[in-house]
Amino acid sequence: MQVFETGTIRETAQKFPGLVSEYTLRAWVKEGRCPGFYRGNKFIVNQTALFEILAAAGGVKR
């Protein structure tokens, strides 16, 4: 079983300051590019998968 960190769009933007903005995350959700799922009317971001995407793109260093 894989364990991953999650958070709302706002929490995720605050966790990755300067790397990805809340606005960018919302656009990615609309485009289907942001990893996560809806819980009710809130989108819950898979922060672990997002970190891997940003690292692969050269946005963050491990």
pLDDT, tens digit (0-9, with 9 covering 90-100), for 14-59: 998 888 999 999 999 999 999 999 999 999 999 999 999 888 887 6
Find, among 3, 7, 5, 2, the residue nearest to 45 by Cα. 7
More confident residue, 1 or 22: 22
CA dist 48 to 59, 62, Å?
14, 12
Domain ranges within the chain, ordered by starting residue: 6-56
pTM of the model: 0.85
Based on the number of CB atoms within 10 Å of its own CB, is 51 exposed (0-12), middle (13-18) or buried (19 or more)? buried
pLDDT computed for residue 42 by the predictor: 96
